[in-house]
Chain A
Amino acid sequence: MNEVISYVRRPDLMTFTMPIVAVLGAMFGFITGNIFGSPWIGFVIGAAVGAALAFVFSKIIKMKSKQKTLATGVLFGGVGMIFGGLGGLFGGFLVGISMGWFANWVGSGKYRAGVPIYYTPGQVLWHNTFMFICAFVFFFLIAPLLPVIWLSFNAENFFTFTPEMLSFKAEGYSLKHYRDFLGTDEWMVPLKNSLIIAPIATLISVSLGTLAAIGLSQSHVPGRQAMMAVLISPMIVPLIISATGMFFFYAPLGNWLELQLGLNQAFVGYVKVILAHAVLGIPFVIITVTATLVGFDKSLTRAAANMGANPVTTFFRVQMPLILPGVISGGLFAFITSFDEVVVVLFVGSARQQTLPWQMYTGLREQISPTILAAATILVSVSILLLLTVELLRRRSERLRGMSPG
């Protein structure tokens, strides 16, 4: 980094750094002023503080840039604490860190570090704007999750940030929604149902979808396009239409299984939901596996046949290992489709097959209770852990196979 900075010219303080930092300061000031009821006063104070910060950074203090950032954070946090208690400390620290970093980034000329030296100011501006847009995209993807996680520790039974929560007092927080989730049948039975239905439905979708994709990728199959269209139609038809159709399709099937074969009502209910979810998952598997098959060298199957392997052996020993990544990602999609699905299960399932999304849906409608947020937090954590594990395993196997880790 130092190497880069060495040829970067420091921008002019008065005409460039101070106004720009003042603009950011004014934005933060406006927001803070809003909290205290006078946004425009905050706007002016923020602009002044921003300009002062830029000045102090370039003329007075000589510290490493990280120290400058941290020092600003601590200073702003302290001021925040005087006005707004613990919440103010936290908010002030965040604002301080951002301001300190920004003032330093602009003031030291590092904002030009990422672009070639011959770029015009316009090009530099666009490059940095583009970077900020990217950062904001990530922010808007992740940000909605954060209040959910925060609110799930609420001590009250409402979706409300209480004053105690905002000032970080212990009595504003509790684990009671997690106890509600983990300790009651109301949530544990749906979780169990979801964990029964989703894996079995995935297994069926993956088996059928993979076979269909392989069959449809053979050039001699007549009417391939039409068949493909039919098979992926559950993905295109609005879910509510599929759900209504499935309800009337599976109801007589269920009656027949119960009355003629004498099967248990609960068992038949699971069969219906699992079949319905498998149908929804199949298109995802077909699409991903078909995409993988494009890169599959057909001469390998002919070579296997040449060496005396029958088609089944060829499939399991030659083709399957090569298309496995496509099969697995299709399976993941199918799993998520079933695990997230609420419309079809509302129609096809009976109360005994209540899944987690169903329970969340009714819970949200009938009793806006933060237990839903606790459930969501747990699900988010579990899926992050799962994805991490899969990624680590993938890297490990690549390492073992002597490939460089991606």
Chain B
Amino acid sequence: MQLIKTLTASTALLVVASGASFAQDMANDMTLVSWGGAYQSSQTKAYAEPYMENHPEVSITWDESSNEAVAKLRAMNEANNVTWDLVDVVAADAMRLCDEGLAMEIDPNEVLAAAPDGTSAEDDFGDLLVSDCFIPQIVYSTTFGYRNDMVPDGAPAPTDICALFDTETYPGMRALEKRPINNMEWALLCDGVAKDEVYSVLETPEGQQQALDKLATIKDSVIWWSAGADTPQLLADGEVFMGSTYNGRLFSAIVEQGQPISMLWDAQVFDLDGWIIPAGLPEDRLNRVLDFVKFATDTQRLADQAKYISYGPARFSSAPLVGKHADLGIDMAPHMPTDPENAKNTFLYNYEFWADYRDDIDAKFQAWLAQ
């Protein structure tokens, strides 16, 4: 047994050494993990299909498990059976996986392509490289949509986030995500806390109670959602007047499905989504993944993705290349959360705050929900 291992190891070394001068040893099967739905199909069209055109020998399997990626990756790692090659996660999950050593640390300038004008990848992604393991793809936002036909007669269409708490002017149910993140911030904003003080207030137990008290004023008219598809369905059914979800889901319901819904961009919360590479992949699979990632996150590919879904590309150099929707032919730029018109009043999600306080506030929030 030991002998075999040594032999395999030395062969592997030989292969790697010789591979430097010849073609690298690359696996031809790749399992990519993503979120399913319109988002995954935008990745398939913008990244996977062009890549497979250049590399017909590669076959890509998609696993729609990003929602439970952290738990599954932990279990896989424990069982020493990591079947994933590249995992799409939100930035917060990437940080957790990186801290636990489940994701591979990367050097952006080495692993990722430089911008066409020669700007290094590190500068091109800029601040969005929030973790050593994280390869950003898109900027998305969590924001509100509301039913046009349920705005009461005589009331103006809501333009302010605090319409959420104004059940007198805008009666009807609301859909909110079943977690404290974002909801607590919105509650404080509408309870008179200044935008740059929200997180310092939320650090204190009194501040947390203040946010929960504000949420309690509408608790009876809230339907809590847990999957991004819930709110568009509830809005389409007319079961809720307004609801929060990811802006791409709302874009799809409004523009592609023609539902009578409008966007409310006020106090939208930006967040990032991107790839991580699981730690400890075998050499051949790692080589393939690195080759794919370099291609899939270059300037053109990230801009291409915006043809299929209204999420902003994570590279500065991609922004000017964002064009028209692939099927509908409409300009995508005005539907991006980063568009200046939409981003007049945005809210920055504070990763460090939530990394430190998440467990505590989660517990309080769940207890409050159960009351």
Which residues of A are interface residues toward B (Cβ below 8 A)? 156-160, 247-248, 251-252, 254-255, 265-266, 269, 347, 350-352, 354, 362-363, 365-368
Contacts and interface: CB of A to CB of B under 8 A. Distances in A.
Among B35, B65, B79, the most chain A Cβ lie within 10 Å of the Cβ of B79
A322 B335 CA distance: 69
B355 interface: no
What are the nearest 7 A-B pairs in CB distance? A351-B63, A251-B79, A366-B36, A367-B37, A251-B81, A158-B236, A350-B83
A156 B64 contact: no
Contact of B64 (A255, A266, A269, A362): A362
A252 B89 CA distance: 27
Nearest to A185: B62
B230 interface: yes
15 contacts: A158-B259, A159-B233, A252-B81, A255-B80, A265-B29, A266-B29, A351-B62, A354-B63, A365-B227, A366-B35, A366-B36, A366-B227, A367-B229, A368-B229, A368-B230
Contacts of B227: 365-366
B232 interface: yes
Contacts of A248: 78-79
Contacts of A160: 233, 236-237
Given A156-B236, A351-B61, A351-B63, A247 B79 contact: yes
Contacts of B36: 362-363, 365-367
Given A158-B237, A160-B237, A251-B80, A365 B63 contact: no
Q: How large is the interface on B (under 10, 10 to 19, 20 to 34, 35 or more residues)?
A: 20 to 34
A59 to B, nearest CB: 47
Contacts of A368: 229-230, 232-233
Among A156, A266, A269, A368, the most chain B Cβ lie within 10 Å of the Cβ of A368
Given A158-B232, A351-B63, 7 more contacts: A159-B237, A160-B236, A251-B79, A347-B75, A354-B63, A365-B36, A366-B228
Chief secondary structure at chain A's binding surface:
helix
B353 to A, nearest CB: 28
Interface in B94-134: none
Contacts of B67: 365-366
Given A251-B79, A251-B81, A350 B229 contact: no
A349 to B, nearest CB: 9
Interface in B231-280: 232-233, 236-237, 257, 259
Contact of B229 (A252, A254, A354, A366): A366
Given A350-B63, A351-B62, A365-B227, A158 B31 contact: no
A269 B76 CA distance: 14
A362 B229 CA distance: 11
